[in-house]
Structure 1
């Protein structure tokens, strides 16, 4: 019996060593669950500080306290906060976020209609930003100190200086009002994607170019790059197969973090371009004090942000095995 215990512990430790990625993913999943619970609790509490939805539903006028009390009771707002929150969590597990206070439409239906537009806009902006920033950052690093590097750095600094709402308004003025090339608002077709996606991509690209340039400069100074060049490898192979792969670690991490900021910034962009997405849905819910809609919207957005960050952590562990073993 005494000999079996060490063997079992040995097998357990060996299995952990053989599957470091499984433990790495499990740890991140547990952290993700905690984050989602914390976000839903904070949002559920904070929205109740914004005011009484019963007053919004009555629309002013001669309203008695008994009328307001009846509406609160019909909406289930008379129950203690934690009872309402536990009911929300129970419904969240099954995908039922309740019904909107304004019209009684199921929140899941509203989210299903708005979510594709937001995700399509967000991922389009990210893809455009990556396509632009990676070659520009690499080109600037290769030409360090020369005029292409100076020009790219100046343009990236200018892009960082633009507030997203101001840039969105300037896009509408230039391409819709002055030139008449693109629709000013709405989601009418492929051309409707150009201005909102480009507005967000410009700001993202300005940051990513500087990050790629800095990371590439650090990587190009490493000894193994010099060894690869001394072996006679072509510059393109050295840059994109060796240098860029090692420089991608901070970029992958930052892009994942950008997605959270992208979702937050999308609210303003969607309002300017009247984009029928989650940002518009959340903004209207705040204005109407529509608790179920706002709770459902923020919860779904939080789930996507946590999922993206989880995928970034996994990708980070795959690119650099030292991360998951540590």
Structure 2
């Protein structure tokens, strides 16, 4: 167990190091930010003084080592525009994104998995075919389009929910459904496929021949055996929820990291964008690391060294 965790942790650290290196050099390829920070009337001496204050006059390897040291201390620098630490800006917006991601995950997982189970266990019923059509329709709509439709129908026409902004739970409902609808369809399809695969196996036919009821068969065998693909998708879909938040937060004017990313790109506040990208990468790697650990917990056939007996 310890060896397995250490190996996965080492792979995660290598991935994090690669992401930090990539982000550093891509930022340098965007150009010299000094000209964005000085007034139009600045002299060449003013520009050079600003460049020295940012450390951009040093050799690239020195800048790179300083960058790695700062990131290791969770120091993402100071915003070019707001002139305050990037960590302070991100910390003020992060709770809103976590609320939205949590609501979207509740929609996607809480609806998608039960729908997938129903679509597999009662696949020949007419109502199930309607659910299948709903799932495929949900997966065909991009998040910005479903968000606009939700605003038009539930906020403008019916007036049931506010169209934008943060506030109470009513402000969270529409963006959560807009962000979670696509992942809900993915969870439903993967769960349905995994369940159908398990239902076709010999142990299921033997259990049914012995008169085992469907609910007991599901809770005792099917749910656990079909969980591996769902766990794999969950790690990826949570990452997709964080990425999709950029669009949804912009559509609903939700003050989270997604909207902050768009605002920072427009204002060329590159250090803020860099901090958000790095945090997103850390979260994605952490989720995949957690999924690797859960595999061996859910399915005992998977050895901790990654091989099968």
Separation in 1, partners of 2:149, 2:57: 47
Aligned to 1:4: none
1:313 corresponds in structure 2 to 292
Answering whether residue 118 of structure 2 is matched by residue 146 of structure 1, we say no
Q: Aligned to 1:47, which of 17, 20, 27?
A: 27
Are 1:94 and 2:87 matched, yes or no? no
Cα deviation 1:146-202 (Å, max 9, x = unaligned): 323321221111111101111112222222222222222221111111011101111
Indicate which of 66, 76, 85 corresponds to 2:45: 66
Structure 1 length as normaliser, TM-score? 0.87
Q: Secondary structure at the match of 2:84?
A: coil
Q: Please give the residue correspondences for 1:168-317 in structure 2 after superposition, counting only pairs within 5 Å.
A: 168-317=147-296
Gaps of 5+ in 2: none
1: CA distance, partners of 2:224 / 2:64: 45
Partner SS for 1:245:
helix
Gaps of 5+ in 1: 1-20
Aligned pair in 2 of structure 1 residues 242, 96: CA closer, same or farther (>3 Å)? same
Using the TM superposition, name which of 171-180 and 35-44 deviates more.
171-180
1:83 match: 62
SS of equivalent residue, structure 1 residue 48: helix
Contact (CA 8 Å) 2:155, 2:162: kept in 1 or not? yes
SS in 1 for 2:123: coil
State the match for 1:56 in structure 2. Answer: 36
Shift of 1:48: 2.7
Residue of structure 1 in register with 2:143 after alignment: 164
Q: Report the Cα distance in structure 2 between the residues aligned to 1:188 and 1:319, rounded to whole angstroms.
A: 38
Corresponding position of 1:104: 83
Could you say what secondary structure the match of 2:211 adopts?
A: coil
The Cα offsets for residues 212-247 of structure 1, whole Å up to 9 and x where unpaired, read as 111101101111112222333221011232112111
Residues matched between the structures, number: 305
* Range 120-129 or range 78-87, more displaced: 78-87
CA contact (8 A) 2:180 2:241 kept: no
Task: Please give the alpha-carbon distance, in whole angstroms, between the structure 2 residues aligned to 1:128 and 1:265.
Answer: 14
Tell me what 2:18 maps to: 38
- 8 Å CA contact 2:195, 2:222 repeated in 1: yes
Q: Which of residues 23, 29, 37 in structure 1 aligns to 2:3?
A: 23
- Given that 1:52 and 1:289 are in contact with CA atoms closer than 8 Å, whether structure 2 keeps it comes out as no
Deviation at 1:88, TM superposition (A): 2.2
- Cα distance in 1 between the residues matched to 2:262 and 2:58: 26
Larger radius of gyration between Structure 1 and Structure 2: 1
Q: Taking structure 2 as the reference length, what is the TM-score of the superposition? A: 0.92
Structure 1 stretches of 4+ moved >4 Å = none
Partner SS, residue 185 of structure 1: coil
> 1:323, CA displacement in angstroms?
4.6
Aligned equivalents of 1:289, 1:82: Cα separation in 2: 24
Give me the whole-angstrom Cα distance separating, in 2, the residues matched to 1:50 and 1:298.
15
Q: In angstroms, what is the RMSD of aligned CA positions?
A: 1.8
What is the Cα deviation at residue 57 of structure 1? 2.5
Conserved? CA contact 2:224–2:299, under 8 Å: no
